[in-house]
Amino acid sequence: MKRGFSFSVTVVVSAIVFIYFCTVFVFIDRWFGLMTSPGIMNAVAFTGVAFMCVLNYAYAILADPGRVPSSFMPDIEDPEVPIHEIKRKGGDLRFCQKCSCFKPPRAHHCRVCKRCILRMDHHCNWINNCVGHANYKVFFVFVVYAVIACIYSLILLVGSLTNNSQNDKQHSADTFRIAYVISGLLLVPLSVALSVLLGWHIYLILQNKTTIEYHEGVRAMWLAEKGGTVYKHPYDIGAYENLTTVLGPSIFCWICPFSRHIGNGLRFRTAYDRVSTSSTSK
């Protein structure tokens, strides 16, 4: 998939570079001094967080979110596949007219990328890419590190301002006023917006839903209540197992940009798997 220049990505990269240099060479330097032990420790810690943030951001941009194999064909007689997603009308297996292929469970066609994406969550302009099966974890981990970096930088900004107001003269404070103002205008809304985004995706992961499935589930719940039944998301297999499905089986790898555990994206464990397993054991 060829992608050209992205203004949104340029804005994000510029903001990251600006915040990093202001944090290290203005906030930390003016609060602790870069050559002091606290200054070095904070500079190294913030650089580590910033590096992981950039690494995951780059991976989310460059990674293919998940391509449907051209040879994919749903096997309706396979006993190991307990459910098959169908169209809303007609009862036929999901088929993409634009890609001329069947769509696996949880796959959706992206109008921007112009192809079907496995376990598509949404198309994100800020990474100029879809968030799907293969890059969802790194996108989530990027948001985690971005929240940590923004809050860390904001704490250093406030601490630096407090220290400067007590010790610096007016002329010295005026020299860096623009950096403080611009950083504050960036960090406060970014910290709030990214924290909300992080909370939203934590909720989705715990429910094993994508953003698309959440909105589809709202309608499904309404239709179920109208018909006197109870709707349950079929891919919700329990909070902890939902977490390991997305982030990996080892808790020590949850904040690392590795996604070797995710499988091929053509089949996902469901709540029906447990039902069929328990009934078989009986």
Listed in sequence order, the residues at least 6 apart from 103 whose beta carbon sits closer than 8 Å to its beta carbon are 68, 85, 94, 95, 96, 109, 116
- The answer to whether 90 and 97 have CB atoms below 8 angstroms apart is no
Give how far Cα 244 sits from Cα of 31, 240, 259, Å.
41, 6, 11
Spot the catalytic one: 99, 110, 124, 253.
124
Amino acid sitting at position 22: C
- The answer to whether 85 and 106 have CB atoms below 8 angstroms apart is yes
Round to whole Å and give the CA distance between 206 and 132: 17
Helix H or strand E encompassing 198: helix 177-207
Round to whole Å and give the CA distance between 161 and 248: 41
Give how far Cα 258 sits from Cα of 59, 181, 204, 249, Å.
10, 37, 20, 11
Query: What angle do helix axes 7-22 and 136-167 make, rounded to 10 degrees?
Result: 40
The long-range contacts involving 235-240, CB below 8 angstroms and separated by at least 24 positions, are 235/106, 235/208, 235/209, 235/268, 235/269, 235/270, 235/271, 236/207, 236/208, 236/209, 236/271, 237/208, 237/269, 237/270, 237/271, 237/273, 237/274, 239/206
Asked if 124 is an active-site residue, the reply is: yes
- Nearest alpha-carbon partner for 139 in 78, 225, 62: 62
Question: Which residues are marked as active site?
Answer: 124
